Amino acid sequence: MELLKDWKWRYATKKFDTEKKISNEDLQNLKEAIQLAPSSYGLQPFKVLIVDDPEVREKLSPVSWNQPQITEASHLFVFAAKTGMDKDYIEKFIELRADKQGKSKEELQAYGDFIFNSIKDKSNEELTHWNSRQVYIALSNLLTACANQRIDACPMEGFDNNAYNKILGLEEHGLHAVAVVAVGYRSSEDSYADLEKVRFPEEVLFETV
């Protein structure tokens, strides 16, 4: 399976080549990979910010433990989960689904009500956790797409979430920064590039029941 070769090729890149940038075509492919990621009910309860402004990335650096990937990578993807879920959002999703699938909103109303009833008693904290889990599915799609195009990537959780929220103005839009992925091309000076990939063996990781 060719995909296994892609996964074996990739690693969490620590030092990027600041002179190499991702092409617009490749960037579009990465965005589509995220867009096509599955999510519970298909709701996609998150937003992805591609931080391109060097000044903004400089502001994010100190609240990311000054990790060089933040400013050196070609592009910086910030995955932000919705901090809740209301009926209005679900109705917009039902309208979109009706339009895309050639159905009437009335035909899908029962499904929309089912979704709303399944979440209406959850607190915003519970919904934020649930929405965050959807983020990681999309993040995985991004990492796989990067590897397939031989674009390097580094998924990161080492940052001050609340500081990101403030710098990027996420809270006012009902969003919370969950994860960051720096993407670009590895530097020839990245000592991590040649390290053996460390994974538990199959007999430890898997069990047939």
* Three-state secondary structure of 75-104: EEEEEEEECCCCHHHHHHHHHHHHHHHCCC
Interval 61-108: pLDDT, tens: 999 999 999 999 999 999 999 999 999 999 999 999 999 999 999 999
In a domain, 102, yes or no: no
Residue 116 lies in a domain: no
Residue 99 covered by a domain:
no
For the cut 90, the answer to whether the pLDDT of residue 110 exceeds it is: yes
Residue 101 lies in a domain: no
* Residue 111 domain flag: no
Number of domains in the chain: 1
- CATH code (residue 42): 3.40.109.10
pLDDT of 1 reads: 87
pTM here?
A: 0.96
Give the residue among 140, 159, 149, 138 at the shortest CA–CA distance from 184: 149
Domain assignment of residue 23, given as a range: 2-85+122-205
Mean pLDDT of the chain: 97
Q: What's the CA gap between 118 and 115, in Å, rounded?
A: 5
Structural domain contains residue 140: yes
The whole-angstrom distance between residue 200's C-alpha and the CA centroid of its chain comes to 25
Helix (H) or strand (E) holding 165: helix 161-168
